[in-house]
A and B are shown apart, each in its own frame.
Chain A
């Protein structure tokens, strides 16, 4: 229990470091928000007044204290571009991203681990080699390129090769324009729109994860206790199910936490290409508009997600390890 609390405190400290770091980065940048917000014809007095209302005339430690205090209260300031609290902008976008990311992460995990296990079973043979090269190739592709390739395939390609109706997947947006469906119909429509973005995110994630899963499985199958179990005459299926799988759980949990940042980062581009109104797109349009409060807020949310995932993974590992109970 003490170890768990210690881990929790460490995570909070880490988050505080991230909060400080974003502040530092934002203030290292040349110019400040007031320069961006005023019109070029504004007088020096107007700029000074704006600086005062934005709290930019305060000393750096004062501004830092205000920023940390705001984060503690759940107040990330106001968006420059949209004239509303950053938290509201992010709260609108977060569910879309969580849905997209969650589905992709689940698929990444299932497909990645299955492919990795299959490769381990076929180790050194052709299926293993082909899947290995294919995995590296997919992992070498930028997500926005894969996304654009799918858009091309399902627009121009679909009419060129005459795809059947059920295969004509929508390539843009969360729902069709002027759609009036509700209830289950709407859910189905969103799901159909999600197929392409989720495919892009999950295929890249799975390609990375399969490499690790393969390595883990090969390590485990080659270990002493598996040899002992086999020598005792334990059935092969039981060896895999009871001995290998039970010991594979800890590295798999670590993998899950490791895969999260990848899906988060990929979603920024995938949301951009497929026009999904999620966190990634909010961050991109904020960057384009130089809307620093939203950019900093989104960074914090992303960092919080990653820290949370790592903390939960560590805690689960701790609880699962009989030596530490």
Chain B
């Protein structure tokens, strides 16, 4: 593992620990709105009327930006990991079935894949998110629905490459069932690219969730996510830029770490064909 990748992993773990450990220690409930007049729009590193220091300032309701940012990290990470994991699982199942049975299954799955890939993912995401009621579960499902295609293609190619190898033929000759051969002998050999895609997908999913939240189609306030915090600071961008810009920096750092980690995994697992020129919100 390279030094950059180790740093990225350490940063992600640190963020996870901070997000879990710090908010319960807060003096004030990060979600509650208290003394709005005395505490609203306090600049970063300044004290509010009650003398409390706010390292990253406060928002229009007098809530501490740093504390909300850490709370948002929980949901943003959960949605990012959940969305990417579900997308990868769907991709593995579809890809494995396509590559194994070929024929009609393969042609149908690949036609759906092509059609979904022809619509820019973000547009597809907007379409789905607009049609269903927004919320964390919807976001995860929609991320999975719009993100499984590239994984399916990768796994399909790997399965097709592994299928004619002697150990697979041996298993089939020994009378092992299709499902068991696929599960025990083929899939473990086809997972490399899927793991790389999963890691790169987490960063992508976090970005896409933030995009949806920015449009009011993602996680709904008052539950903070980085996206809806940026959205909340949008009207204050001229008077109090820190409200929108600070959560964005946390988001960028997280996505950056996921990308560095994914790149390192790709170099290690040699999944050269994992595409990263995805579209960004």
Chain A residues with CB under 8 Å of chain B are 14-15, 17-18, 20-22, 25-26, 28-30, 136-137, 139-145, 148-149, 151-152, 155-156, 204, 208-209, 211-212, 255, 258-259, 261-262, 264-266, 268-269, 272-273, 283-284, 287-288, 290, 295-296, 298-299, 302-303, 306-307, 310
Contact = CB atoms under 8 A, between A and B. Distances in A.
Contacts of A22: 119, 127
B281 A264 contact: no
A149 B239 CA distance: 13
A17 B149 CA distance: 15
Given A17-B115, A148-B244, A152-B237, A142 B280 contact: yes
A141 B227 CA distance: 12
B130 interface: yes
Contact of A265 (B120, B215, B237): B120
24 contacts: A14-B115, A17-B111, A17-B114, A22-B127, A25-B127, A136-B259, A139-B259, A141-B255, A142-B207, A142-B210, A144-B214, A148-B230, A148-B241, A209-B277, A258-B275, A265-B120, A266-B280, A284-B215, A287-B215, A288-B216, A303-B123, A306-B118, A306-B119, A310-B118
B168 interface: no
B214 A287 contact: no
A149 B234 CA distance: 10
Nearest to B124: A299
Best-buried of B118, B126, B227 by chain A (most CB within 10 Å): B118
B121 A148 contact: no
Given A18-B115, A136-B260, A152 B127 contact: no
> At the interface, is chain B mostly helix, strand, loop or mixed?
helix
B167 interface: no
B263 to A, nearest CB: 8
B256 A258 contact: no
B251 A307 contact: no
Nearest to A279: B123
Contacts of B227: 142
Given A17-B114, A136-B256, A148-B230, A143 B280 contact: yes
A140 B277 contact: no
Nearest to B216: A288
Given A204-B280, A261-B279, A140 B255 contact: yes
Contacts of A268: 122-123, 126, 281
Given A156-B241, A262-B280, A268-B281, 11 more contacts: A14-B118, A136-B256, A142-B210, A145-B244, A211-B277, A265-B279, A269-B211, A284-B126, A295-B126, A303-B118, A303-B119
Contacts of B238: 151-152, 155-156
Closest 5 CB pairs between A and B? Answer: A265-B122, A29-B131, A17-B115, A140-B255, A145-B248
B164 interface: no
Interface in B76-115: 111-112, 114-115
Best-buried of A142, A143, A209 by chain B (most CB within 10 Å): A142
Contacts of A266: 279-281
Nearest to A310: B118
Contacts of A295: 126-127, 130
Interface of B: 111-112, 114-116, 118-124, 126-128, 130-133, 203, 207, 210-211, 214-217, 227, 230, 233-234, 237-239, 241, 244-245, 248, 251-253, 255-256, 259-260, 275-281
Given A14-B114, A21-B115, A259-B277, A149 B120 contact: no
A262 B277 contact: yes
Contacts of A142: 207, 210-211, 214, 227, 230, 248, 251, 280-281
Contacts of A204: 280
Nearest to A153: B241
A255 B275 CA distance: 11
B132 A30 contact: yes
Contact of A212 (B118, B119, B277, B281): B277
Contacts of A29: 131-132
Contacts of B244: 145, 148, 152
Contacts of B233: 148
B127 A140 contact: no
A26 B118 contact: no
Contacts of A265: 120-123, 279-281
A211 B237 contact: no
B145 to A, nearest CB: 9
B217 A151 contact: no
A252 B91 CA distance: 28
A209 B127 CA distance: 27
A18 B120 CA distance: 11
